A and B are shown apart, each in its own frame.
Chain A
Amino acid sequence: MMTYREAIKKSMDLILKEVPDSAIYGLGVTDHIGIFDTTKDLEQKYGKDRVFETPISEDSMTGVALGLSLGGIYPVHIHIRADFLLLAMNQLINSIAKYRYMYGGLYEAPMLIRAVIGRSWGQGAQHSQSLQSLFAHIPGLTVIMPSSAKSILNSYEYVAKHYKNPVISFEHRLLYDYQFENLEKEENPLSSKLLKEGSDITVIATSIMNEEAIKASNFIDKNISLEIIDIHNITDMDRELILKSVRKTKKVIVLDTSWVSFGVCAEVSRIILEENIHLKMPIVNLGMEKATCPTAKLLENEFYTDLKDIVDSIYKLYYEKENHNKTLPSDEEVSYLHKHFRGPF
């Protein structure tokens, strides 16, 4: 058993131990919180040269990652909120994503950028965003959303040791305390994963929405069988895995942690609609409502898709009608963790 948080901490330690020319830095990596206890004590263990704080200068510190990478140091740059990546868009998109291609393959810019999606108690407009599709749009970047401890352990070791391109990893704050049993080695850590085989409905999900899909699968009537696909690699999702499943079930729900339009939901729908597959029911896309994230709890609960929405959609698809008269999860069953999380932020 291992929590998501422990898996990240273990991976950070492993990178510093087994990738000799590596460095971990970012605002807060050496303070008492240590990026939610994923970087604590690393400075003492590996030294100030390899684990260090930065000024509050996200754009420049992102360019520094590129310089370090070109200089042969593998950088892990950490943002305690994904929203801060918006201050580094110029470096990420104009320089880092393009360095390899623009110079005709003369350079490689391997690096890992960790960014935490801050969804939880009152994080509001600027501390909660899920920005994966903004970055996934850009050729040259690899965007991943590890959904489990296993995914963290495999992905982070792999990208630090073997992958030669810049990776942005979105970690979900609410996953940090989830316990995971399965920690086995994966052969292709950067691929999409079949989490559960099934025959009635294909659920394609990102990040914590995979946990929601599993909860939904456990909640619904036992005669309904879900196939769950964890996209994981947002920039290079496994088309064949998705299409094979959709051809089988002909019913699809896409679950994303972000806005539906122009995002992962839109992209998965595109991939499916470009094929000649006759779906039995229209695709269902579930994500955040098209508004800025509100702070007040009641509004926040309405803003995010929850287990109730997912189970409702499953029954509608399965019975092919709006009124299925099935029992939906109670408020308490929706998610104890999501509703009672009180930090640390």
Chain B
Amino acid sequence: MSYEELFYRALRIRLIEEAIIEIYPSDKIQSPVHLSIGQEHHIVSFIENLKLEDKIFTTYRNHGVYLAKDGDLKLMFAELYGKIDGISKGKAGSMHLTYPKTGVMGSSAIVGAIYSHATGFALSQKIKKEDSITVAITGEGATEEGTFCECLNFASLKSLPIIFLIENNGLAINIPLYKRENYKIKNLAEAFNLDYFHFANGFEFENINRETDKIVQSVRENQKPTIIEIDTYRYKEHVGIGEDYDKGYRDISELKKWQDIDPLIQDRKLIEKFTPKIEKEIEEAMEFAENSPFATREELLKDVL
């Protein structure tokens, strides 16, 4: 896919989340939000290589993944607003976006919980001899959970068609990497006999798009489980719409470093070209959410069993 098309998709995610920031103080959005701002580029570049039947399991930082895998924007806003027309009738909210139609199979607020869901799904694909693959997308912090190694082992043992995509933003909540990890994910891949690829700059649309296309094809054809680690940066606080560079756990110079090379900030020409169209789409989606009714009492006990 061309730079311009990838840029458009990433800019769309950024502007949608900026609209979320703008509306958030009104309390129309009825749950905490974990924004993807700063991490949109590699998501669209990678996901563009997946087929409709390929599945993704991800975390509470899921807006980018949901949108990149063609999750419906109107239903997303209705979900954030806690409305009955939301994709999960408002029961899920921001942290649990899902869109089974296009293969976004769930988003967990329990760090690392989805590795095994993705592994199990990949096993079902293998048992049924399907041509599709499954992807688990998390931050690097989730790899600290024991289940990560357990799933690498099992995926490797069973030669599953699965990709563990690790977005390394160097932060888990408010804790920097050096305080948490004394291992390299690359070495875990080696220990469990998985293929491993690393991208040091998550902002390289075309490079990531082109290279991960080859990886996706290889996983599909060879059933060789694979880790892709992509370095990126979370611009906003862990949860919420603000910035927290005054809190002492990270320095604003890190942000500046990434912003200086961020096409979604630097490429003014394309930003101007695409913004009006995207803003119109956002406006319509918010209006849809606004006009949808809230779920009422009779919804409370539905779908427990």
Report if A192 contacts B (CB, 8 A): no
- Cβ–Cβ < 8 Å partners of A343 in chain B: none
Report if A73 contacts B (CB, 8 A): yes
Whole-angstrom CA separation of A55 from B147 in the bound complex: 12
Q: Are B154 and A55 in contact (CB under 8 A)?
A: yes
| Given known A60-B150, A100-B303, contact A72–B128 (CB-CB < 8 A) | yes
- Cβ–Cβ < 8 Å partners of A43 in chain B: none
Listed stretches B84-92, B235-243, B281-289; interface member: B84-92
Report if B118 contacts A (CB, 8 A): yes
Smallest distance from the beta carbon of B94 to chain A beta carbons, Å?
A: 13
Listed stretches B35-43, B103-111, B167-175, B220-228; interface member: B103-111
Listed stretches B8-16, B62-70, B119-127; interface member: B119-127
| Given known A68-B121, A95-B108, contact A139–B128 (CB-CB < 8 A) | no
Whole-angstrom CA separation of A253 from B134 in the bound complex: 52
| Given known A23-B127, A68-B120, A103-B96, contact A94–B108 (CB-CB < 8 A) | yes
Whole-angstrom CA separation of A101 from B300 in the bound complex: 9
| Given known A67-B122, A73-B127, A94-B108, contact A102–B91 (CB-CB < 8 A) | yes
Report if A107 contacts B (CB, 8 A): yes
The residue on A at minimum CB distance from B124 is: A71
Chain B proximity mask over A56-73: 1 for CB below 8 Å, otherwise 0: 010111111111111111
Whole-angstrom CA separation of A23 from B86 in the bound complex: 34
Smallest distance from the beta carbon of B237 to chain A beta carbons, Å?
A: 24
Report if A21 contacts B (CB, 8 A): yes
Whole-angstrom CA separation of A54 from B151 in the bound complex: 11
Q: Are A59 and B120 in contact (CB under 8 A)?
A: no
Smallest distance from the beta carbon of B164 to chain A beta carbons, Å?
A: 13
Chain B proximity mask over A86-122: 1 for CB below 8 Å, otherwise 0: 0000110011000111111111000000000000000
Whole-angstrom CA separation of A73 from B128 in the bound complex: 9
Report if B113 contacts A (CB, 8 A): yes
Smallest distance from the beta carbon of A105 to chain B beta carbons, Å?
A: 4
| Given known A63-B116, A67-B120, A70-B117, contact A104–B88 (CB-CB < 8 A) | yes
The residue on A at minimum CB distance from B158 is: A52
Report if B157 contacts A (CB, 8 A): yes
User: Which of B92, B105, B150, B305: most chain A Cβ within 10 A?
Assistant: B305
The residue on A at minimum CB distance from B100 is: A106
| Given known A57-B153, A60-B115, contact A104–B86 (CB-CB < 8 A) | yes
The residue on B at minimum CB distance from A164 is: B305
Whole-angstrom CA separation of A101 from B90 in the bound complex: 11
Whole-angstrom CA separation of A54 from B303 in the bound complex: 31
Q: Are A63 and B105 in contact (CB under 8 A)?
A: no
The residue on B at minimum CB distance from A142 is: B305
| Choice from A49, A54, A61, A100 contacting B127 with Cβ under 8 Å | A49
Smallest distance from the beta carbon of B262 to chain A beta carbons, Å?
A: 33
- Cβ–Cβ < 8 Å partners of A94 in chain B: 108, 110, 113
Report if A215 contacts B (CB, 8 A): no
Whole-angstrom CA separation of A65 from B116 in the bound complex: 8
The residue on A at minimum CB distance from B90 is: A104
Interface size on A, residues (CB 8 A): 40
The residues in B between 117 and 152 inclusive whose CB is less than 8 angstroms from any CB of A are: 117-128, 134, 146-147, 150-151
Smallest distance from the beta carbon of B193 to chain A beta carbons, Å?
A: 14
Q: Are B116 and A70 in contact (CB under 8 A)?
A: no
Interface size on B, residues (CB 8 A): 43
- Cβ–Cβ < 8 Å partners of A67 in chain B: 57, 116-124, 134
Q: Are B127 and A105 in contact (CB under 8 A)?
A: no
Report if A165 contacts B (CB, 8 A): yes
- Cβ–Cβ < 8 Å partners of B304 in chain A: 100-101, 139-140
Q: Are A71 and B125 in contact (CB under 8 A)?
A: yes
Q: Are B121 and A59 in contact (CB under 8 A)?
A: no
Q: Are B118 and A59 in contact (CB under 8 A)?
A: no
User: Which of A50, A54, A73, A94: most chain B Cβ within 10 A?
Assistant: A73
Q: Are A55 and B87 in contact (CB under 8 A)?
A: no
- Cβ–Cβ < 8 Å partners of A54 in chain B: 154
Q: Are B87 and A104 in contact (CB under 8 A)?
A: yes
Q: Are B116 and A101 in contact (CB under 8 A)?
A: no
Whole-angstrom CA separation of A57 from B117 in the bound complex: 14
Report if B280 contacts A (CB, 8 A): no
Smallest distance from the beta carbon of A3 to chain B beta carbons, Å?
A: 31
Q: Are A102 and B113 in contact (CB under 8 A)?
A: no
Q: Are B302 and A105 in contact (CB under 8 A)?
A: yes
| Choice from B91, B146, B157 contacting A101 with Cβ under 8 Å | B91
The residue on B at minimum CB distance from A96 is: B117
Smallest distance from the beta carbon of B261 to chain A beta carbons, Å?
A: 37
The residue on B at minimum CB distance from A65 is: B120
- Cβ–Cβ < 8 Å partners of B123 in chain A: 64, 67-68, 71, 73
| Choice from B88, B90, B91, B120 contacting A71 with Cβ under 8 Å | B120
Q: Are A71 and B121 in contact (CB under 8 A)?
A: yes
| Given known A55-B150, A71-B128, contact A103–B106 (CB-CB < 8 A) | yes
Report if B212 contacts A (CB, 8 A): no
Q: Are A104 and B106 in contact (CB under 8 A)?
A: no
User: Which of A64, A100, A105: most chain B Cβ within 10 A?
Assistant: A64
**Which B residues contact A (CB, under 8 angstroms)?**
57, 86-92, 96, 98, 100, 105-106, 108, 110, 113-128, 134, 146-147, 150-151, 153-154, 157, 302-305
The 3 closest A-B pairs by CB, nearest first: A67-B120, A63-B116, A71-B124
A-B residue pairs in contact (CB < 8 Å), sample of 24: A55-B154, A57-B150, A57-B153, A57-B154, A63-B120, A64-B117, A67-B120, A67-B121, A68-B120, A68-B121, A70-B106, A90-B113, A91-B113, A95-B117, A101-B304, A102-B91, A103-B88, A104-B86, A104-B92, A104-B303, A105-B89, A105-B303, A106-B100, A142-B305
| Sample of 19 more A-B contacts, CB < 8 Å, known A57-B153, A60-B154, A94-B108 | A23-B127, A50-B127, A59-B146, A59-B147, A63-B147, A64-B117, A66-B116, A67-B117, A68-B124, A70-B120, A71-B121, A90-B113, A91-B116, A102-B88, A103-B92, A103-B96, A103-B98, A106-B98, A106-B100
